[in-house]
Structure formats: structure tokens, C-alpha cells
Chain A
Amino acid sequence: MAEGPTILPNFFKDFSTKAEPIVSTALGQKLPTSNPVREALATYVQLAGIESGYGYFAPNVPGGYRLVFELRYPDGRVEHELPSVRSEAAALRIAGLLENIGRTPFDAMREILLKTLAQSVWRQHPDVKSVRAILGSVRLPSIHEFEQGQRESYEFLYAYDFSPDNKPPKAHGR
């Protein structure tokens, strides 16, 4: 409520913004990371599986993210590939990974995660000269837009160039 669009009036947003630090304090999140009380609480909630909320697909359903690898070969050829896994169960998890990559506010984290995925593409195509990872957000059409002929579209977010020598990648943002 404090962050996102809801149908509730502004009063609730203000209330939630004020309540958030109180709840965080009660859960020990305001304590230093090495504080034993905080560690004990964090351990318990993780062991019991209660560390996250239960607002799945709420209050609204986000659009999601899409990752495309652009493979550049020494002869100038360019191919495009999507991250691939062998099972549908793993595909659900890769979608979760893309959410994490898309949402993280930390550039370094995004770069590390994308590099990990790029490396697996590299292993499948060892003769590739460089790999560009292009991340975009998915814009889903509304029912009305779909009926008008619109389909899902993508908005460019980031692109990272990876090469086999371990040089830092070139990052391009929107």
C-alpha cells in the first residue's frame, strides 16, 4: 500500500508509510545485521518459510521481463537466443529469475546475474565472439487492446556486452 497503486484513498498510503518502520522494528530489521536477535528472527522465518508475504499477483499483476541474447560470431553473423531450460518447471523459475534481474536496483547485481546466464549460452556456443544480453520489460495488452489487434510489446531496459576475455561488460541503459 505504501509503494504501489491501490484503490484505497491516500490516507491508507500515509498510514502504511508510517506503519512500515514500526513493523520493520518489531521484526528486528532495524537492528544491525550482526545483532543476534535479528539473526535469530531471520533464521526462524526462513526455516519456517514465512519470510515473504502472501500477496501473489497483488495488488496488480505485473507485466514481466524478457531477456534475449544476441550472439555475434567472428564471421559477422548474428543470432538471437532466449534463455532455455529443459523443463516447464524450470521455465517458471527462469521467469522468476528475470523478475529479480529486472527489479533489482543494483546495477552490479543485475550484471552478475546476466553474466551467469550469458555464460551458459557461451558454453553452448563456444565459437561466439561476443554476447549481448538485452533485457526488456513486457507490456501486456488490455482485453480491449487485444481485441483491437495489439499484442504484447517490449520496452528496452538494459543491454550488456560480454566477451570471452573477462573484461567488464559495456552496459547500455535506457
Chain B
Amino acid sequence: METFRTRLLEFLFPPGTDSWLAILRVGLGLEVALYSFSLRNDWAYLLSGTLRRVAEALLSLESPFIPRLGWAISLGAHVGLHEATVLLVAWICLLLAGCGLVIGFACRLSAILAWFFHLCAAKSGGFVSYGMDNFTTIGLFYLMLSPLPDRFSLDWRLRDLRPKHPELLGFWRRVLQLHLCVIYFFSGLTKCLGSGWWNGSSVWRALIRPPFDIIDPEILVRWNYVFPIAGIFICLLEITYPFFIWNSQTRKIWLICICAMHVGIGFTMGMYLFAFVMIVLNLAAFGPGLIRMERCTTSVQPQKAVS
């Protein structure tokens, strides 16, 4: 029992550097900045008026404590600020928080603000949210709780700030790793249950379905023999992710394949932000240590041979 407890603690609190946190911080900072920038012209249209009020009313049925833009808009109304002005302020705060994360300035505050304002926008725009918003919230939630700042941030280098609980670095990375395993396993499992992923029709439908139809179907149809292979490959890659991503021998292959899959989704379906956030989460969770591990392996090999 004691051995099990020790092993569990070793698993949950592994030693490690803060490289993963730097990847997560910079990546999510870029994601938030790009998200804000990409919606700059449609921000007010998507998040104002009846659309927002209906989404927030439905949210209130679940819980009145879930953050939403309506809070800030109500506050603004008390001091005579129009809805559009408050939305603009929220947009600026989100963009600044994203930039703050990229450079590592006021890391904790930037992470909290980015999480809060992105969550508000995602919940108030519940009818226009999609998977990318969920994964950004997940990433920002873990980033906000992780021991910031990391050694690559401005806070560390210029302001000489240090994390209060560096022993939790490994723990939060482990949580992110486990969460990704759950995500891919169930994503793969649910795909496997549909016949379309086995015969390739789901890949075809995903690529020709508006608004993801950025490649002309006339071109796609010439590659029809690839779709069943791609469908089966995606199913197997996702469902086996939790089993092969932990093994040092197969981690690199699975990480490259999963990132390549997301690059493919980004370019063939126009879901650039979705692809980017998934790549950031994967690289942060399983990227650091891969190259160093290779160096260790190569340095250990001759000794093994000698012994």
C-alpha cells in the first residue's frame, strides 16, 4: 500500500523544468491575441444584444456564478457606459492579456485576465462558441493555476520574480497530460462508433461541409482513395494516444502525428485557431524533454555496450 502511495505521488509530482509552462504561456498568449484580433470587426455583432442576453439567460439556469460579459455591461450601465463601449474595453483587456502572456509580463495577472475575459466571451457568446473555445478555456485554466512565472518570462528576467510553489510544476503538467489523454481517447472512441470514419465518408463530409469547404471538392474527389485511410488513421491515432504518448519510444511519433493531424485540420478546414491551441496543448504537455531524452539515450548507449 505504501509502495502504491509512493508511486502515485511520484507519478503525480514528477520533477521537471518549467519549459512546458513557457510553451503553454507563450502559445496560449498567442492564441488569445490571435483570437481577439481575428474577431476585431465582428466582436460587437457576435456578443451584443439579444444573442448575448439569451445565452446568458440560459447560463443563469445552470448557475448564476458563471462569468459573463453581462456583468461588466450591467456595471458599465451604472456609470453611463454603452454596451458597445464595455465590449470594446473587454476586447482590449483580452488582447492586452494575450500580449502580456506572450512576453511574460505580469504573468499571473495576465493569465487570470485572459482566462476571465475569454471565458466571459465564450459563455456570453454561447451560441457562437465552438471546440476551440473549450480548449482555450482548459489551457488558460491550467495556466492560471500553474506556478508562474517561468524562467523565460520578463517577470523572471527583469523583475526577478520567482514562483511560490515550484514543486507544483510537475503536478500541473501531469494534469494537462492526463486531460489530453482523456480528450483524445474519447474523441477517438466516439469516432470509432460511426461507420463514416471507417469508410472515409466522414473525412469527405468534414472537408466539403460549409464553412469548412475551403478546398474545392472537385480537387478533393481525385484523392478519394485517401479518405478511408485518413479516417482509420485519425481514429487509431486518437484512441491509442493515451497508450503510446507515455512510452518514451513512441512518444515522438505520436506527438508528431497528432500535431500533423491538427496542422492538416487547420489548413484543409480553415480552423487555424483550433489547430493552433491543440498543438500548443500537446507541445506543452509532451514536448519538453523529447530532445534531451534523445541526447541521454545516445550518451547512455556506449556505456551499456561497454558493460
- Which chain B residues (165-191) contact chain A, with CB distance < 8 Å? 182-184, 186-187, 190-191
Contact of B206 with A49 in the complex, beta carbons under 8 Å: no
The prevalent SS among residues of B at the interface is helix
Query: Distance (Å) between the CB of B190 and the closest chain A CB?
Result: 3
Q: Which residues of chain A have a CB within 8 Å of any CB of chain B?
A: 1, 5-8, 33, 38-40, 42-43, 46-64, 66, 85-97, 100, 109, 112-113, 115-116, 119-120, 138, 140-143, 146-147, 152
Which B positions have Cβ atoms within 8 angstroms of A?
35, 38-42, 45-46, 49-51, 54, 59, 61-67, 119, 123, 125, 127-131, 133-138, 140-141, 182-184, 186-187, 190-198, 200-202, 204-206, 208-211, 217, 221, 224, 227, 270-271, 273
Could you tell me if B66 and A46 are in contact, using CB atoms closer than 8 angstroms?
yes
Question: In the bound complex, how far is the Cα of B192 from the Cα of A7, in angstroms?
Answer: 8
A66 to B211, CA, bound (A): 10
From B35, B50, B119, B186, contact of A54 by CB (8 A): B186
Q: With A33-B61, A90-B45, A112-B54 in contact, do A66 and B130 touch (Cβ < 8 Å)? A: no
A6: contacting residue among B193, B211, B271, CB under 8 A:
B193
Task: Using CB atoms, name the residue of chain B closest to A94.
Answer: B128
A55 in complex: contacting residue of B50, B128, B138, B186, CB < 8 Å: B186
Chain B residues whose C-beta falls within 8 Å of the C-beta of A90 in the assembled complex: 38-39, 41-42, 45-46, 128
Determine the chain A residues whose CB is within 8 A of the CB of B202 once the complex forms.
57, 60-61
Picked from B123, B128, B209, B270, the residue with its CB within 8 Å of the CB of A46 is: B123
CA distance A64 to B213 in the complex (A): 12
Least CB separation from A146: chain B residue: B221
Q: How far is the CA of A113 from the CA of B227 in the complex (A)?
A: 36
Nearest-neighbour CB distance to chain A for B34, whole angstroms, equals: 9
Closest residue of A by beta carbon distance from B128: A93
Q: Tell me the complex Cα distance, A43–B138, Å.
A: 14
Whether A63 touches B209, Cβ cut-off 8 Å, given contacts A55-B187, A109-B54, is: yes
**Given contact pairs A49-B135, A55-B190, A90-B39, A116 touches B128 in the complex (Cβ within 8 A):** no
Q: Are the C-beta atoms of A7 and B205 separated by less than 8 Å?
A: no
Q: How many A-B residue pairs have CB under 8 A?
A: 182
| Contacting residues, chain A, for B59 (C-beta < 8 A) | 46
**Given known A58-B187, A59-B191, A146-B221, contact A95–B210 (CB-CB < 8 A):** yes
> Which residues of B are found within 8 Å of A62, using beta-carbon distances?
209
Interface centre among B50, B62, B221, B273, by most chain A C-beta atoms within 10 angstroms, is: B62
Q: Which residues of A are found within 8 Å of B208, using beta-carbon distances?
A: 140-141, 146, 152
Q: Given A47-B141, A49-B119, A143-B221, list of 7 further CB < 8 A pairs?
A: A54-B190, A59-B197, A87-B41, A87-B42, A88-B270, A92-B271, A94-B211
Task: Find out whether the CB atom of A47 lies under 8 angstroms from the CB atom of B119.
Answer: yes
Contact A61 B205 (CB under 8 A): yes
Residues of A within 8 A of B136 (CB): 49
* Interface CB pairs A-B, < 8 A, 13: A33-B61, A46-B119, A47-B137, A49-B119, A49-B135, A54-B183, A54-B186, A54-B187, A62-B209, A88-B211, A89-B38, A90-B128, A138-B210
Minimal beta-carbon separation of A47 from chain B (angstroms) = 7
Q: In the complex the two chains form, is B62's CB within 8 Å of A115's CB?
A: no
Of chain A, the residue at the smallest CB distance from B235 is A58
Decide: B61 and A61 in contact? CB cutoff 8 A. no
Report, nearest first, the 10 A-B pairs whose CB atoms are least far apart.
Answer: A59-B194, A49-B137, A55-B190, A89-B38, A90-B42, A58-B190, A93-B128, A6-B193, A86-B41, A61-B205
Closest to B138 in A: A49
Q: Given A97-B127, A143-B221, A146-B221, are A39 and B63 neighbors across the interface (CB < 8 Å)?
A: yes
| Inter-chain contact B204/A142, CB cutoff 8 Å | yes
Contact check, A58 vs B141: say whether CB atoms are below 8 A apart.
no
CB-based contact A56/B187 at 8 Å:
yes
CB distance from A42 to the nearest CB of B (A): 4
Is the pair A112, B50 in contact by a Cβ cutoff of 8 Å? yes
Closest CB in chain A relative to B208 CB, distance in Å: 6
**Which residues of A sit under 8 angstroms from B183, Cβ to Cβ?**
54
A8, B206: Cα distance in complex, Å: 22
Selected from B35, B45, B192, B206, the residue in CB contact (under 8 A) with A85 is B45
- The answer to whether B137 touches A48 (Cβ under 8 A) is yes
Which of chain A's residues has its CB closest to B217's CB? A146
